Structure 1
Amino acid sequence: MFYDYLVIGIYFLLILAIGIVFARMASKSTSDYFRGGGRMLWWMVGSTAFMAQFSAVTFTGAAGKAFADGFAISLVYIGNTFAYFMAWAFFAHRFRQMRVDTPTEGIKRRFGPGNELFFSWALIVFSFLNAGVWLNALGVFTSAVFEADINATIITIGLTVLFVSVLSGAWGVVASDFVQTLVVAVVSIATAVVALVMVDGPVNLVKNFPGGFLIGPNMNYPLILFGTFIFFLPKQIITMMNLHDSFRFLGAKDSKNARKAALLAMALMGAGTIIWFIPPWAAATLYPDAPLDYAQLGNKAADATYLVFARNAMPIGTVGLLMAGLFAASMSSMDSALNKNAGIFIRSIYEPWLAKRHKQTNDRRMLRISQLVSFISGIGVISVALYFASLKELSLYELMMRVSTMVQDPMMVPLLMGILVKKTPQWAPWATIVVGLIVSWLVDNVVTPEV
């Protein structure tokens, strides 16, 4: 266990060092702070775009599904890969050509200032909640594995991300995401190779998987699985390629670098779709009772399958490296959220408020205010995560999934259509959201599986 703690400690020191090294690059202007001044190369933008869709769920909940159901979980990640392909083919260079510093400035150009203000507040609120839930989930898992205090875990991770985001802005976020991509790659490839060796190759991995590898043990109607996969293709495009979540391409040096970044993200996601799940697939054969090792996680015990494999099959220190990968996955989402929220607040809320009162301020002062907003956002996310940790009886994950699918996804539809349709009236986003909310309510309350 000492070596695991040592690996994690080195990882945190590396992330803190990145914040210090890149601080100067984000200290020249607000544009540098929000999107790196639009000077980032493809491999930087590609790695941060990739990490945006990679979360700790891959090594926990998704690994548990792979352990139980085989290949089916990979279909979700194939949907992500398809979305990045569409970014390369159509979206990425168009996002870069908007030449704005924040996503809500693009919303203003397409839908007007009223919609800009509405989406700004809504996106900030959802960002707070999502970051708080993921930070809390990581704290719960880490505290169960290392028997550490959950509050101390949340605060430590949160303050590390806060330090990098406040000090070095978009440059620190992107640089840390690149390092975190390398950490994830090392963990994933090493464990996958060992797993394949232990089960005597991919053919035996598939043949010996209990219950059927392709559709899983409890799937009586394969057509449902195929239909779900078809649904995920447009769903992931809506989720990933809208005017909000595509903001990482704004930092690319030019349109060519933006497209190459999308291609890199597609390649990483495509390779990871298979590599990430080889260890839990192998564990289903090698360690069929793996969930019992972490029974304290309750009905989420299967989420520790990856950890069980790393502990039993990998060299000393690999568990620490795996936990560093989990931290990387969650921290990459949180640091982007803090930096993005600061940009949205300054450009779309604070600056218009000053303009209405005929007040002016210089860019240097706005940069300092941006750092203050990023700091306050970080403290807010940590506070939300600590509050969620105190709610013992509430299933936060289920709650957030319902909020995301019923409310957040309908909000993303007009932000995608704004890329495809150039001339739209200002009421179009509102009408689209209302229709989406009605459909969500009907599916949840009327057109249920029982019908």
Structure 2
Amino acid sequence: MNNIDYVVMAVFALLILCIGMVFTYSGSKNTSTFFEAGGQTPWWINGLSLFISYFSAGTFVVWGSIAYQGGFVANGIQLTMMLGGLITAIFIAHRWKKTGALTAAEYIGVRFGVKTQQFYTTLTLLYSLFSVAAVLYPVGKMVNVASGISIEASVLIIGGIIILYTAAGGLWAVLVTDVVQFVVLSAAVLIVIPLALKDAGGIQTFASNAPDHFFDFFNSEYSIGFFFAFLLYQTIYIGGNWPYVQRYTSVSNEKNARKVAFLFTGLYLICPFIWMLPPMLYRVINPNLQGIEAEGAYMMMAQKVLPAGLVGLVLSGMISATASKANTTLNLVAVVFANDVYKKFFLLRLLTKP
């Protein structure tokens, strides 16, 4: 990476931090504003946030590796996310808004009782620790491949920035920075694709030099059975994962809750076919990556075709995807702890203590 790439990344990080901090005052007026943005967020902002929150650098590391090795199989897998979003839009999203609950934990408490709520709250808080770690590792890997900066240092810096603006601005900060991150990530990917196509010799050369069955949606490892099993998992995850439930409950009405999920569905129908092209093209350019090396295919393609400065933009876009997924989880943890742990258990016991 060139020095200008580091400058681009630093400017982007400062921009995201400033945008998030703008909402420090408005986001902390009261619990409703901080945790659900007053329940009046525009559906399209929530839809973009839901979509980008579903991404992380892991999308480019894990799915990019699968795209490099298996081609369209990566797209076939991601179509399960589109179908899961469609099922959520039709049957689930509006029902979450109809509950009137601030969190999924609150609804569980009403429906199944306090003990069940405590059990699921504990599991969610523990799971969130691991899930944030899981999304921060791939971005550390990408930064390490591109710049040589250690994974540990990358995780600490990026994680610190995310925590700062999420804690200061609440859900509004999360949503608005997600929209900015969506724009930056999309621009970064769209810059890489034509340059990568040119380097691969064009579409016809790419198609003729690709491995056999590279454009099949299924293979022996990722079969039709895997597709349907993963579809079930994705439907449960999109429709019931607590951070994503916030996107359905923080809009003004049930109709808009459905629109959030429909926008997610539409984006997942189109974007994977565009975003998985660079590692597929890199398979034709350099077919020699083995095993874990394939995880760096996306970044290697970007470094090969992009001039100084744009590599930093692409890497910033990938970091932003990770930031979006992490900030969503962190905001959810804050909601659950404040609303379902502190307020209902610790504070209640303190007030009722003789």
TM-score, length of structure 1 as denominator length = 0.73
Match of residue 232 from structure 2: 234
Equivalent residues of 2:145, 2:299 under 8 A apart? no
Identity %: 28
Equivalent residues of 1:93, 1:258 under 8 A apart? yes
The separation in 2 between residues aligned to 1:205 and 1:42, in whole angstroms, is 39
After TM superposition, give the deviation of residue 198 of structure 1 in Å.
Answer: 4.3
Which structure: larger Rg? 1
Secondary structure at the residue paired with 2:99?
coil
Q: Which amino acid aligns with 2:52?
A: M
Match of residue 190 from structure 1: 191
The separation in 2 between residues aligned to 1:87 and 1:301, in whole angstroms, is 36
Match of residue 272 from structure 1: 271
Match of residue 46 from structure 2: 45
Q: Deviations over 1:99-152 (max 9, x none)?
A: 222221121122221111110111000001111232234224423431113332
The number of residues matched between the two structures is: 350
Q: Deviations over 1:1-33 (max 9, x none)?
A: 112111111110111111221222212111111
- 1:378-393 to 2 correspondences below 5 Å: none
Match of residue 311 from structure 1: 303
Equivalent residues of 2:142, 2:299 under 8 A apart? no
- 1:236-385 to 2 correspondences below 5 Å: 236-242=234-240, 244=242, 245-289=244-288, 291=289, 299-353=291-345, 354-358=347-351
The separation in 1 between residues aligned to 2:241 and 2:156, in whole angstroms, is 31
Q: Deviations over 1:346-372 (max 9, x none)?
A: 111111222244359xxxxxxxxxxxx
Q: Please, which runs of 5 or more residues in structure 2 have no aligned partner?
A: none
Q: Which amino acid aligns with 2:4?
A: Y
Q: Which amino acid aligns with 1:177?
A: D
Q: Which amino acid aligns with 1:355?
A: L
Judged with a 3 Å threshold, the aligned counterparts in structure 2 of structure 1 residues 305 and 351 are, in CA distance, closer, same or farther, namely same
The separation in 2 between residues aligned to 1:144 and 1:150, in whole angstroms, is 9
Match of residue 118 from structure 1: 119
Judged with a 3 Å threshold, the aligned counterparts in structure 2 of structure 1 residues 60 and 173 are, in CA distance, closer, same or farther, namely same
TM-score, length of structure 2 as denominator length = 0.92
- In the alignment, structure 1 residue 165 sits paired with structure 2 residue 158: no
Judged with a 3 Å threshold, the aligned counterparts in structure 2 of structure 1 residues 95 and 214 are, in CA distance, closer, same or farther, namely same
After alignment, is 199-208 or 75-84 more displaced? 199-208
Equivalent residues of 1:196, 1:202 under 8 A apart? yes
Q: Deviations over 1:152-196 (max 9, x none)?
A: 222211110011111101010111111111111112222223334
The separation in 1 between residues aligned to 2:251 and 2:194, in whole angstroms, is 34
The separation in 2 between residues aligned to 1:122 and 1:43, in whole angstroms, is 31
After TM superposition, give the deviation of residue 233 of structure 1 in Å.
Answer: 1.7
The separation in 2 between residues aligned to 1:255 and 1:207, in whole angstroms, is 49
Q: Please, which runs of 5 or more residues in structure 1 have no aligned partner?
A: 293-298, 361-451
